[in-house]
Amino acid sequence: MTALTIARRAMPLDDLVVRVYHLELKECRDWAEFKEGVRLLLRNLDEVLDTLCWYRPADGRVRRAVDRVKMKAISLRKFCAAIPDSFDDPERWQDVATHIIANYEQFRIEAGLLYQLAVPGSNFGVLRAAL
């Protein structure tokens, strides 16, 4: 009897799951804590973009999902990068945080859908929960 080796098409996504940090930005209590969360969020976005720029799935649905995730990541990255380092408004930081949190949640959902499409039989929440 010979061992059967199953090649996984989505191995880059599996590697991505272990390289990103799980963030719950809504639990941040002040601007300093949120700023650290944004730093980790930017790192996550860079990891996702780095992985997806090399990922070339054969399936058209998966390619479109990859493109959607990349577009959301780029948009969110631009918004976060536009926040000046000197921003420290105790009144307005929660408005900025609300916008980032909502967009990050949408990004996480798209990433979860991508993983579910790319890895047959996988759970929707794998990549979403990792982010």
pLDDT confidence of residue 129: 84
* Global confidence as pTM: 0.84
Q: pLDDT value at position 30?
A: 84
d(CA 13, CA 119): 9
Q: Alpha-carbon dihedral of residues 95, 124, 46, 60, nearest 10 degrees?
A: -120
Give pLDDT, residue 86.
65
Q: Is the pLDDT of residue 125 over 50?
A: yes
- Measured between alpha carbons, how far is residue 55 from residues 11, 17, 60, 78 in Å? 10, 14, 13, 22
Interval 39-61 mean pLDDT: 93
pLDDT in tens, 77-96: 999 988 776 666 767 778 88
pLDDT score, position 95: 85
